[in-house]
Amino acid sequence: MDNKVYLSRDEIPKQWYNLVADLKRPLRQPLGPDGKPISPDQLAPVFPMNIIEQEVSQERWIDIPEEILEILYRWRPTPLRRAVYLEKHLKTPARIYYKDESVSPAGSHKPNTAVAQAWYNKQFGIKRLTTETGAGQWGSALAFACHLVGLECKVFMVRVSYEQKPFRKTLMRVWGGNCVSSPSNETEAGRKILKEMPDTPGSLGIAISEAIEQAVSDPSGETRYSLGSVLNHVMLHQTIIGLEAKKQLKKFKESQPDVVIGCAGGGSNFAGLSFPFVCDKIHGKSMEIIGTEPTACPSLTRGAYRYDHGDIAGMTPLLAMYTLGHKFIPEPIHAGGLRYHGMSPLVSHAVCEGLIKARAYDQLRCFDAALTWARTEGFVCAPETSHAIAAAIDEAIKAREEGKKKVILFNYSGHGLLDLLGYEKYLNGELTKYELPQKKLDESLDQIMHFPEIE
Ligand SMILES: *Cc1c(COP(=O)(O)O)cnc(C)c1O
């Protein structure tokens, strides 16, 4: 049996899947400052109307424009691989499959939505995009996409990553993007934080505030903002992952997975792989679907499910989501892409409905899983991805103990070849286990207790 399945160019999915269409209970709408649902017009200074239409769409299937597919063909369809060496090492009867999103030019799943967003903005007549980035994967993905469709790209990069991961900054410059450390002196929001907390490691919440501010304050009206995760249209663009994986599992002669796993920062790679399977679960199939996150930033496992802002300055609408509070600043762990205080409203909804479960892992456990992976399968995974691998290993061991031939599928969201500093520190024994103290969490959640509650 081969340990990898590719799809041909014409087998690529031609439509994205929108989970909203299959939800039993409707998704809770974003609220404006007045506590009332916002109208699409209110988002128009931030996003182009064609993206806003996708954000609020109720359609189950949305056509992928041919010009977007043309770009995606550079690396898609991505391979589905079977982790036979890890299986052997674990002596598990489980079959472990992983969807390899690390083969994209930027090295993660993020170009899937970056290309789509850049293309829709270009169609709408926009000239320049601003965005935030944590570890730099999103910034580099957007710089790449903007270059291909002919847009300028400005990236606010969380300070701790800007310093820890200088090569992603280089990658952005290679693709013509302009990257600054956040908090920066270029925006009101940034200057305010720098004054209050000069030594802050930065956070995605701060960088989002800066990027939105710069987009909406451009007097030419030709700048918009782009978000790499969290929002419905981002989850939508990523479903190409799960739709391809379904076709590939069939070629492996598997009828369905028993367990589907992804790491969740804002939720997009997890949603991208899992939502087509969540659809099957809604329609009666039995399956475990697990999102994993760091114990340092445990929005799904310890956060509150309520309305909250997506950014520190409170510029975004209130989103119904699992959140640690929009002022929460996580410890500078190496899985930068998972250091976000909130969670996609769609993923949050599915968790609340019992369709998805969540689990948290600390960074030592994750790097341990990453080394096991590298020493069996050979590939060096992103620190974010190691949270999915840790869960896949746990599930494979459980299958061994129960003597069950389970089918485990997880998303290999990216490679770690630009994250070697984290590996170096782990190998030197310099990393510590970190559980978010209850007191810090309570203090952060206290600040959002006046926001509307979710019934
Ligand atoms: C950004 C990133 C993540 C986390 O973001 P999601 O939107 O939750 O997918 C996970 N893995 C990698 C490799 C990333 O770059």
Q: Dmax over Cα atoms in the chain, in whole Å? A: 64
Q: Give the tens place of pLDDT for each residue, 36-84.
A: 999 999 999 999 999 999 999 999 999 999 999 999 999 999 999 999 9
Domains of the chain: total = 1
Please work out, in degrees rounded to the nearest 5, the angle formed at the alpha carbon of residue 369 by the alpha carbons of 430 and 433: 35
CA 269 to centroid of ligand 1, rounded, Å: 6
Tell me the CATH number at 400. 3.40.50.1100
Q: Is the CB of 292 under 6 A from ligand 1?
A: no
Structure tokens at 57: 């769409």
The answer to whether residue 141 sits within a structural domain is: no
Residue 135: the pLDDT is: 83
Closest Cα partner for 409 from 302, 296, 269?
A: 269
- Kindly state the average pLDDT of the residues 118-135: 96
Q: Alpha carbon of 452 to those of 341, 361, 387, 408: distances in Å?
A: 18, 30, 32, 38
Distance CA 272, CA 172 (A): 24
Is 268 a pocket residue for ligand 1 (Cβ < 6 Å)? yes
**Ligand 1 centroid – CA 155 distance (Å):** 17
Burial of 430 (0-12, 13-18, 19+ CB in 10 A): exposed
d(CA 35, CA 452): 8
- Residue 277 in domain: yes
Question: How far is ligand 1, taken at its centre, from the CA of residue 195, in Å?
Answer: 30
CA of 267 to the centre of ligand 1 (A): 8
Binding site membership of 113 for ligand 1 (Cβ less than 6 Å): no
Looking at the domain assignment, is residue 36 inside a domain? no
Task: Label residue 134 by pLDDT band (50, 70, 90).
Answer: confident
Domain membership of residue 417 (yes or no) is yes
294: left (phi over 0), alpha (psi -120 to 50) or beta: beta
pLDDT band at 336 (very low <50, low <70, confident <90, very high): confident
Angle between helices 386-402 and 363-376 (to 10 degrees): 80
In a domain, 303, yes or no: yes
- Tokens representing 129 are 């995009």
The closest residue, in CA terms, to atom 14 on ligand 1 is 337
Q: Which residue from 100, 102, 108 has its CB within 8 A of the most atoms of ligand 1, so it is best to mutate? A: 108
Whether the pLDDT of residue 186 is over 80: the answer is yes
DSSP code for 384: T
* Beta strands at 15-17 and 61-63: parallel, antiparallel or unpaired: antiparallel
The Cα–Cα gap between 315 and 21 comes to 28
The pLDDT, as a whole number, for residue 205 is 85
Assess whether pLDDT exceeds 80 at residue 1. no
For residue 319, being part of any structural domain is answered with yes
Does ligand 1 lie within 6 Å of residue 414's CB atom?
yes
Q: Is the CB of 278 under 6 A from ligand 1?
A: no
pLDDT at 447 over 90: yes
- For 409, the domain range is 4-8+64-107+232-446
Helix-then-strand count for the chain, H and E: 18, 15
pLDDT at 5 over 80: yes
Q: Would you state the pLDDT for residue 322?
A: 97
3-class state of residue 231 by DSSP: coil
Question: Phi first, then psi: what are they for 447, rounded to 5°?
Answer: -70, -15
* pLDDT tens readout for residues 201-256: 998 889 999 999 999 999 999 999 999 999 999 999 999 999 999 999 999 999 99
Quote the pLDDT of residue 452. Answer: 86
Strand, coil or helix: what is 197?
Answer: coil
Cα gap 249→409, rounded to integer Å: 9
What helix, strand, coil percent values describe the chain, rounded to 5? 45, 15, 40
Ligand 1 centroid to residue 414 C-alpha, Å: 8
Position 159 scores a pLDDT of: 94
Instruction: Tell me the average pLDDT across 306-319.
Output: 91
With respect to residue 17, please indicate whether it lies within any of the assigned structural domains: no
- Whole-number pLDDT of residue 113: 98
Rounded-to-integer distance, Cα 124 and Cα 47, Å: 10
User: Angle between the 188-196 and 204-216 helix axes, to the nearest 10 degrees?
Assistant: 150
Has residue 126 been placed in a domain? no
> What rounded mean pLDDT belongs to the chain?
96
